Structure 1
């Protein structure tokens, strides 16, 4: 009797346990669904592309209004002098080259990216990151990519304007603010200086100078001696004499402040030091060339020693899974000399940064919102091309091509479902695509 009684008491207890288990599962599923929904954030597409409208002004083309464009151009149909504007765009393209990657077929990806850079140029050739606020400001990093892309495609005058703007806004101590207004007179916020700007300016100057005929190269570099001297001096002043590393500074993540040194900051200063050494050698400034080359060797060793054992993470001493775009800046076309373990870290980082739509986030430790960022993805295409990894470069370029807006521009972001989002075009992304194509077509 006691046993039977206990058996009868146990059955409702088991049923109750199963009920609570089912209820718990429902809660978990509900919370998980909400968590996933939060992870896969929704961001609208603000612009589809840019176009030339009345009086030659650049206008924003909203999503759904792409039918107003003349096919194959960045000109609105109702523009009174449409034929003339189309001809001007064609003439501008013809003045340079449009790198063609056979594996991409007859896509207009690179051609459209060039037209987008052309339209993003403000009076005087100032390269804004994008058209609407707050993208309609000038970032030294983005400007470096744009100057390099314009120079590699034969648009030397436009590239020169970008370098001149950087020279004009550079601080007395050689550093740059995080971003500038197009007139160069005001900084749009209180983000303060960002140390990597000096590295980007030197890298861009070397790329542009490298496209100038060899017989004219030394004179060209001398004409930009102010930018060269100020930027290289700023790097020298920033590096610790004992550790040979720079202090913490904001980088492409654009956090208001950083209390830890990021790999991206150190890597870009390394790229700048290497470029400065070669630029000084071009003009016969032997002592300055040796100083910057020696500085680059010390910085490269410090990066390898301090970041390398942890797998080149985003932050000094951080976990390997936090590896981000900074690993790319330790590789060609930014840095020429690199140890094999950097390539390994770069390849590993792609899996850490992968997002549902197939693109890449800015880093392995980036917020888990499911969004791909095209500046990151396009830069990976560029590095792959520079490393000779043609398959990976073409893969990323195809992905970017497929995820353009209906207006043909590369958006800043791509959502988890593959939809273009945020602003389009974006200068950094367009420039990196052009540079990747140029690398793939280089003889």
Structure 2
């Protein structure tokens, strides 16, 4: 991004405070004096430095990159080449020094050339959306790939950690330096959506290596594949992995041939058969609904959430489509189609008409997006609730919170905002004109709230400034999926 674009973002963030005093009124005053501190930015982005090590940029740091990569540019002018108006061309006169410090040392011309070549080989053949969001798509893909299988340094100066091929690190700093099966599944889907099938399959193969013998997944994993703490397992992981496999292997992808079937033999094939068996086991009760489990809110739950229920349904439907397309998932796979019908009916019976976060309630959350395209055929009454979801989840910073019952501290969460954008783009393409406009608004908002180096943060504070880790792999994936959907619908 040039200085004009940087100034535009600063104006946008500053302008958020004006509505606080007028349109929001008392609510804004309450936020201003809330005892809960507002989140701050933990990293500006990432840079690929000496030895190919990925390092977090400290908040406020500036760096110019070689186009389409996260390798610092040798010549600051190079970052603008072929990318006028791109967010990732942001910088100041001290870009070179900042990049050198963050990158762990001076890059020789030879090493820089090798790193750029490797980065561009990874994206060769990618089909990215065009139009006004082309630069944002390019940056999101560069950041996502930088977080997959990296040698990742920490901001504290400790030795870099090597992650296995296909390991999707949620974020570059602090408590985000883990692999969440949910985030990784969306990364695989996004990579497949832009045509990087080998990368997507590598992500699925790493997830297969993490899977338990019962077909389940833990909440998150370390670089070594171990569990970092006593956080309980999250049941939605199995459904999301199967859902992602359905997209990657072509059962839900338009106009693209399935990848080589040989890639689904061995460990990945075992993983998918275990997933099918696990999904049947989770819905084997008389009511055909899965047990209560924590989900993407990362809090203890006493009641079944819509995310957990829908992830299981989406996994069953994906398994049924894969079997219909000729993939052998064993006897369990053959049973998934009938079970999916039963689970769909059970979800409608338990969550309609309110379609809230919890069974029987109407406290809508971002999982409402899962009840209709692009995830599945719309469940009974769900689209009507989806139409009003953004307004009910809105935050003063312009995006949405995780749900209407989440604390209203003014903070927007970018994964949930991007998920609604993807949902709105798909439904808009199907004739929901109001949601088509919503998709454009949310996508513009996400793109404008990136950091100075074009990275997508996890949150946006009440004053409009980026917060949390940047980039966040889940948001990168969801933005790519939403942009691809929006591009197809035009």
Per the normalisation by structure 2, the TM-score is: 0.78
Cα distance in 2 between the residues matched to 1:162 and 1:95:
18
Check conservation: 1:43, 1:422, Cα contact below 8 A. Answer: yes
Deviation for aligned residue 1:99: 1.8
**What residue in structure 1 maps to residue 421 of structure 2?**
381
- Where does structure 2 lack aligned partners over 5 or more consecutive residues? 1-24, 73-95, 101-106, 150-163, 430-434
SS in 1 for 2:55: strand
2:272 to 225, 228, 244: 228
Change (3 A) 1:215 1:114: closer
Q: CA deviation at 1:31?
A: 12
Q: 1:32 to 1:84 in 2, by over 3 A?
A: closer
* 1:31–1:219 distance in 2 versus 1, CA, 3 Å: closer
Residue 327 (structure 1) aligned with residue 368 (structure 2): yes
Note closer, same or farther for the CA distance 1:88–1:332 as it changes in structure 2 (3 Å cut).
same
Quickly say closer, same or farther: Cα 1:391–1:221, change in 2 above 3 A: farther
State which of 446, 465, 471 in structure 2 corresponds to 1:400.
Answer: 446
Q: Measure the CA separation in 1 of the matches of 2:417 and 2:35.
A: 20
After superposition, the Cα gap between the structure-2 partners of 1:39 and 1:266, relative to the gap in structure 1 and judged at 3 Å, is farther
Mapping of residues 268-417 of structure 1, within 5 Å: 268-283=311-326, 288-309=332-353, 311-318=354-361, 320=362, 322-335=363-376, 337-387=377-427, 388=429, 389-417=435-463
Query: 1:47 — aligned with what?
Result: 43
- The Cα of 1:118 is off from its aligned counterpart by 1.0
Whole-angstrom CA distance in 1 between matches of 2:287 and 2:337: 17
1:57-96 equivalence runs, <5 A: 57-67=53-63, 69=65, 73-76=69-72, 77=96, 78=100, 79-80=107-108, 81-96=111-126
**Residues 198-241 of structure 1: CA distance to partner in whole angstroms, max 9, x if unpaired?**
10000000111016964756555455321221111111111143
Q: Within the alignment, does 1:209 sit opposite 2:249 as a pair?
A: yes
Structure 1: distance between partners of 2:462 and 2:455:
19
Cα distance, 1:36–1:120 mapped onto 2, change above 3 Å: same
Question: How far, CA to CA, are the matches of 2:26 and 2:464 in structure 1?
Answer: 24
For the Cα contact (< 8 Å) 2:54–2:146, is it kept in 1?
Answer: yes
Is 1:188 the counterpart of 2:228? The answer is yes
Partner of 1:419: 465
Distance 1:173 1:132, change over 3 A: same
Q: CA deviation at 1:407?
A: 1.1
Q: Deviations over 1:242-271 (max 9, x none)?
A: 11111110111011x311111110011110
Q: SS in structure 2 opposite 1:418? A: coil
The one of 301, 312, 316 aligned to 1:258: 301
SS at match of 1:86: helix
* Deviation per residue, 1:325-347 (Å, 9 max, x gap): 12111222222x22351111112
Judging changes above 3 Å, is the alpha-carbon distance between structure 1 residues 314 and 107 closer, same or farther for their aligned structure 2 residues?
same
Question: Does 64-73 or 246-255 show the bigger shift?
Answer: 64-73
8 Å contact from structure 1 (residues 41, 370) kept in 2: no
In structure 2, distance between residues paired with 1:237 and 1:289: 12
The whole-number CA distance in structure 1 between the counterparts of 2:286 and 2:133 is 54
CA positional deviation for 1:93: 2.7
Is 1:171 aligned to residue 212 of structure 2? yes
Answer 1 or 2: which has greater helix percent: 1
Q: Which residue of 1 aligns with 2:15?
A: none
Over the aligned positions, Cα root-mean-square deviation in angstroms equals: 2.4
Alpha carbons of structure 1 residues 109 and 214: separation in structure 2 relative to 1, 3 Å: closer
Q: Please report how far the alpha carbon of residue 127 of structure 1 lies from its aligned counterpart in structure 2 after TM superposition.
A: 0.7
Distance 1:219 1:86, change over 3 A: closer
Following superposition, the deviation at residue 55 of structure 1 comes to 1.7
Q: CA-to-partner distance for each residue in 1:141-178, whole Å, 9 max, x for gaps?
A: 00011011111212222211210111111111111100
Partner of 1:98: 128
Query: Does the 8 A contact of 1:324 with 1:363 survive in 2?
Result: yes
Larger Rg: 1
C-alpha change, 1:338 and 1:52, in structure 2 (3 Å) is: same
SS in 2 for 1:141: helix
**Structure 1 residues 306 and 65: alpha-carbon distance in aligned structure 2, compared to 1, 3 A threshold:** same
Partner SS state of residue 59, structure 1: strand
Residue 95 (structure 1) shift: 3.2
Q: Does 1:118 align with 2:145?
A: yes
